[in-house]
């Protein structure tokens, strides 16, 4: 049995650590791609070094701009 998950998964590059502007661009691009391909969520997988920058950048978005399935995951 195959289960299809309607979620766009991507690994965040290490270079984003500490660079909020680049992280905002990265998140915007991934949200756009998920919307284009009809994905219901976005999961960004990142190292512990990058997660704080991702969380700070994601906080700049209005809740309505993020899909219900938006997640930041450590990995």
Q: Model-level pTM?
A: 0.88
Confidence of residue 6 (pLDDT cuts 50, 70, 90): confident
At 54 the pLDDT is 97
pLDDT exceeds 90 at position 4: no
* Residue 1 domain-assigned (yes or no): no
Decide if 2 is inside a domain: no
Cα angle, residue 52 at apex, residues 34 and 6 outer, rounded to 5°: 20
> Which tens digit of pLDDT belongs to each residue from 22-60?
999 999 999 999 999 888 899 999 999 999 999 999 999
**Residue at 33 is within a domain:** yes
Whether the predicted pLDDT of 7 surpasses 70: yes
- Name the token pair of 37: 């391909």
Closest CA to 72 of 48, 53, 44: 44
Identify whether 28 is part of a domain: yes
**Residue 42, in any domain of the structure:** yes
The DSSP secondary-structure symbol of 65 reads: G
Q: In terms of residue numbers, what domain contains 39? A: 7-74
Report the number of distinct structural domains present in the chain. Answer: 1
């Amino acid at each position: 049995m195959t289960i299809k998950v309607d979620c766009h998964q991507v690994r965040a590059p290490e270079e984003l650590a500490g660079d909020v502007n680049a992280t905002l661009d990265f998140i915007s691009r991934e949200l756009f791609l998920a919307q284009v391909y009809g994905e219901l969520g976005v999961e960004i997988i990142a190292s512990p070094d990058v997660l704080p920058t991702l969380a700070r950048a994601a906080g700049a978005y209005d809740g309505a701009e993020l899909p219900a399935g938006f997640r930041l995951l450590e990995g």
